[in-house]
Structure 1
Amino acid sequence: MANSKIILLLGAIASCAAHFTVPNDDQDMSGLTVNSLPWDKRVEYMRKTNQALYSQSGPCPFAAFGAIIVNHTADEVVCEGANFRTGDPTIHGEISAINACTAKFTAMGMTPTQIYAAWGELSLYTNAESCPMCASAIRWAGFKEYIYGTTIQHNYNVGWGVMTLSSYDVFQQSRQLPGYQTVMLGQILTNETDPLFSWQYNASAPCPNGCFRIPSVARGGSTCSNTTATA
């Protein structure tokens, strides 16, 4: 009888977890013109975010988190970043891109004051909604815009370990920071970003970008790859 109760309790916990809703995580801004930039320009740069990921990490990296920093006035990508899983838990795609720009601006001779001012003219794109750490970094920097694709809710639903705090709620708690409030645009091009995060914990999900399933000794089960070597 005791074992049956435990099994029922575990089943109830699993059911609750499976149906958990991340509060305020439905910030769908697709199709909108914001800051005079039309929707198709947002799509163009989210695709560039994915391409930056592939150029740094291959077509189907397990940690498919990529970011770019954009100067929309000049219509150019300034810096790129990806989650390289180096062992430093803070180097997510967004932090990687911010670090790349900081190094670039420093090499150009910009002072720390000038670098801080520069963030306010730039937009950060990430193919997945930022974790609370990265969303906080974006607000501390004072970026003009923050644009993301796949939501925390989606990644929670497909098995990722995530912090279930939406960027919306992080931004709501950052209104006392100096400078202008960063404009947030959510769920941009999710039909192309969601598949990048849907296969890692679901062996039946298709691999993205022409990759295919191979056995994974390191992770157990299988992984996606563009080579035939066992991972």
Structure 2
Amino acid sequence: MAFHLFWLVATSFLHLAAGHSHHGHYQDYVQAPIQEPSLAINGIPFDTRAYWMRRANQALSDLVSPCPFGAFGTVIVNHTDGSGLGELVCIGANNISATGNPTLHGEMAAIHNCTAILTDPTGPYNLTASEAQDAFASLSLYTNAESCPMCASAIRWAGFKEYIYGTSIETLIEKGWGQIRVASIEIFERSFDLSSPSRLIGEVLTNETDPYFLWQYDPSYPCPSGCQRVKGSCSAIEE
């Protein structure tokens, strides 16, 4: 559902009891569902969350194409600058095919890009390495699909204030994607020893993120906007 959200605050002092689990593969956890899209989470209204999740989808077109096979896009946002929607710091998209680097998932690419932007001596921030590390505690990472355990762990190590995802790992698996069956919430549950708190907000705007991952293993599913079927795959329409 487009408006199904849950959140979890990760701190050193919070202990989780048994709760919901996915397919029996994930550690039991407690989640607090938020049913109303009008509710603000961390003071950020749903409309703003939706804007940035759409921007994570758009990162694909900006960096790769409107229909890459690995359609994982990410944006990193500063919601503390007081400018309403917030400030876009950097974007990233799955870059494995272009680089041959199997770790360059969308989230990892975005973190790499943000680090370069934050520490660029000629850029808008000009932070030291230490200041850049501290800056992540004020930033929110939006990604159009739930992070794999590598990326979810990187998000926690970076100390992001928030991590917001769209399509769930469970949905990806159901639609044919090979995934490591560890939910982000389990990574958060097991990272309470870290000093930085972080909030996890899941399944945001899934009616718009899911279609980016439904055509790859279903030849009858329509291609994303701006793309067409070519030899069983979706390719960008040339103008």
TM-score interval for Structure 1 and Structure 2 normalised by the shorter chain? 0.7 to 0.9
The higher relative CO (CA closer than 8 Å, separation ≥ 6) is in 2
CA distance in 2, matches of 1:35, 1:145: 9
Match of 1:172 among 184, 189, 201: 189
Q: Is the 8 A contact 1:150 1:190 kept in 2?
A: yes
Match of 1:121 among 126, 138, 145: 138
Matched with 1:10 is none
Matched with 1:225 is 235
What are the superposed Cα offsets for residues 76-118 of structure 1, whole Å, 9 maximum, x if unpaired?
A: 1100000022211111000101001111111133222111110
For the structure 1 residues 125 and 52, does the alpha-carbon distance in structure 2 shift closer, same or farther, using more than 3 Å as the test?
same
Matched with 1:39 is 46
Aligned AA (1:82): A
Matched with 1:206 is 222
> Percent identical across equivalent pairs?
51
CA distance in 2, matches of 1:22, 1:214: 36
Q: Is the 8 A contact 1:22 1:152 kept in 2?
A: no
Does residue 187 of the first structure (1) align with residue 203 of the second (2)?
A: yes
What are the superposed Cα offsets for residues 35-82 of structure 1, whole Å, 9 maximum, x if unpaired?
A: 111111100111111112211111111110010100112311100000
What are the superposed Cα offsets for residues 126-148 of structure 1, whole Å, 9 maximum, x if unpaired?
A: 00000000000000010000000
Mark the runs of 5 or more structure 1 residues left unpaired by the alignment.
1-18, 216-221
CA distance in 1, matches of 2:88, 2:25: 31
The structure with the largest alpha-carbon Rg is: 1
- Aligned pairs (5 A) from 1:88-103: 88-103=101-116
For the structure 1 residues 20 and 35, does the alpha-carbon distance in structure 2 shift closer, same or farther, using more than 3 Å as the test?
closer
The normalised TM-score by structure 2 is: 0.80
Q: Is the 8 A contact 1:25 1:152 kept in 2?
A: no
Does residue 81 of the first structure (1) align with residue 88 of the second (2)?
A: no
For the structure 1 residues 49 and 26, does the alpha-carbon distance in structure 2 shift closer, same or farther, using more than 3 Å as the test?
farther
CA distance in 2, matches of 1:29, 1:21: 23
The normalised TM-score by structure 1 is: 0.82
Query: What count of residue pairs does the alignment treat as equivalent?
Result: 203
| Greater per-residue strand proportion | 2
CA distance in 2, matches of 1:20, 1:198: 20
Q: Secondary structure at the match of 2:182?
A: coil
| Greater per-residue helix proportion | 1
> What is the RMSD computed on CA atoms of the aligned residues?
2.0
CA distance in 2, matches of 1:88, 1:154: 25
CA distance in 1, matches of 2:221, 2:182: 26
Q: Is the 8 A contact 1:21 1:153 kept in 2?
A: no
Aligned AA (1:61): P
CA distance in 1, matches of 2:93, 2:29: 23
Q: Which moved more, 1:166-175 or 1:197-206?
A: 197-206
